[in-house]
């Protein structure tokens, strides 16, 4: 049976004031056909540009909107985890709040959940500078090789997941980049689908080579360790009637 809220949209927001009205309108339109209740969780990660005011304006007009505010900028993983904990839907979808991901892709990703527990986007025609595309390419290749993975585009935030798997995942700083792997470690079936990607028109990217590529590469060793130390056992409770 479906829970009252079927889908929770979880969106981290850090200084994205000029993107939020358009984002919410696009989400609203894209999800009009999705059956079941939808909630929109916008998590403000310590913005200084008036994003919270815009979000509260959205919440005033649309009662499906919930606004969570982190006390200070705590990073994308923290914002996502706060959203995951507050989410009530059976399914959780994430996307960036800068309009680079296209909400119009969501119905297709949701439909693919009938054969999977996680559907991860792959940015088909990525609209970023060549430096960033190259750094992603190097990062993805290294991560996959070191963790025995085959995730094409971990940097793509557009994904949909069954919340029952998310509940078992503990995020650490920067670990949102390993979410598909962490979910797979919990037994989730992963599918990848191409998604649209658009240039950032308002606001600025929060990452450069220094705070993405090398930090991400260091995290690879932590994930590798977790994979190697994963608990694996079968347990069975015995009936006292079986006592000899």
Looking at the DSSP assignment, which residues form a beta bridge with residue 219?
Answer: none
CB of 199 to Mg ion, least distance (A): 9
DSSP 94: E
Q: Which range of residues in 59-67, 71-79, 110-118, 158-166 is near ligand UDP by CB under 6 A?
A: 71-79
79 binds ligand UDP per the rule CB under 6 A = yes
CB of 32 to ligand UDP, least distance (A): 23
For 58-189, list the strands marked E by DSSP: 65-69, 91-94, 118-123, 159-162
If the CB atoms of residues 100 and 120 are measured against Mg ion, the closer one turns out to be 100
- CB neighbour burial string for 59-96, b if at least 16 within 10 angstroms, e if fewer: beeeebbbbbbbeeebbbbbbbbbbbeebbbbbbbbbb
Contacts of 53 (CB under 8 A, 6+ apart): 17
CB of 103 to ligand UDP, least distance (A): 13
Looking at the DSSP assignment, which residues form a beta bridge with residue 10?
Answer: 41, 94
* First-last CA distance in the chain: 42
Q: Which range of residues in 60-68, 91-99, 109-117, 179-187 is near ligand UDP by CB under 6 A?
A: 91-99
Q: Within positions 9 to 28, which residues make up the interface with ligand UDP, using CB under 6 A?
A: 12-14, 16
If the CB atoms of residues 12 and 46 are measured against Mg ion, the closer one turns out to be 12
211 binds ligand UDP per the rule CB under 6 A = no
40 binds ligand UDP per the rule CB under 6 A = no
For 170, the 3-state DSSP assignment is coil
For ligand UDP, the binding residue among 18, 64, 73, 194 (CB under 6 A) is: 73
Tokens 């992963």 label which residue?
190
For ligand UDP, the binding residue among 96, 105, 117, 153 (CB under 6 A) is: 96
CB of 98 to Mg ion, least distance (A): 4
C-beta of residue 108 within 8 angstroms of C-beta of residue 193: yes
CB of 186 to ligand UDP, least distance (A): 23
Rounded distance between C-alpha atoms, residue 55 and residue 50, angstroms? 9
CB of 129 to Mg ion, least distance (A): 12
- Please report, as ranges, the residues that interact with ligand UDP according to CB under 6 A: 12-14, 16, 45, 73, 75-76, 79, 96-98, 100, 205-207
């Amino acid at each position: 049976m479906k829970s009252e809220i079927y889908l929770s949209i979880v969106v981290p927001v850090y200084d994205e004031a000029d993107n939020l009205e358009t984002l919410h309108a696009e989400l609203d339109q894209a999800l009009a056909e999705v059956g079941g209740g939808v909630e929109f969780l916008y998590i403000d990660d310590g913005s200084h540009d008036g994003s919270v005011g815009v979000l509260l304006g959205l919440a005033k007009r649309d009662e499906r909107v919930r606004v969570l505010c982190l006390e200070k900028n705590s990073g994308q993983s923290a914002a996502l985890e706060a959203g995951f904990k507050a989410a009530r839907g059976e399914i959780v979808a994430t996307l960036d709040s800068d309009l680079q991901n296209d909400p119009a892709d969501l119905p297709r990703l949701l439909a693919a959940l009938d054969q999977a527990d996680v559907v991860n986007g792959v940015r088909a025609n990525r609209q970023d500078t060549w430096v960033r595309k190259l750094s992603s390419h190097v990062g993805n290749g290294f991560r996959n090789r070191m963790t025995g993975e085959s995730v094409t585009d971990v940097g793509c935030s557009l994904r949909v997941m069954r919340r029952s798997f998310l509940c078992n995942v503990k995020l650490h700083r920067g670990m949102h980049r390993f979410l598909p792997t962490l979910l797979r470690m919990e037994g989730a079936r992963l599918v990848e689908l191409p998604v649209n990607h658009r240039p950032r028109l308002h606001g600025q990217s929060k990452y450069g080579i220094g705070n993405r590529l090398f930090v991400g590469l260091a995290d690879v060793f932590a994930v590798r360790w977790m994979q190697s130390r994963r608990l694996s056992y079968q347990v069975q409770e015995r009936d006292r009637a079986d006592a000899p």
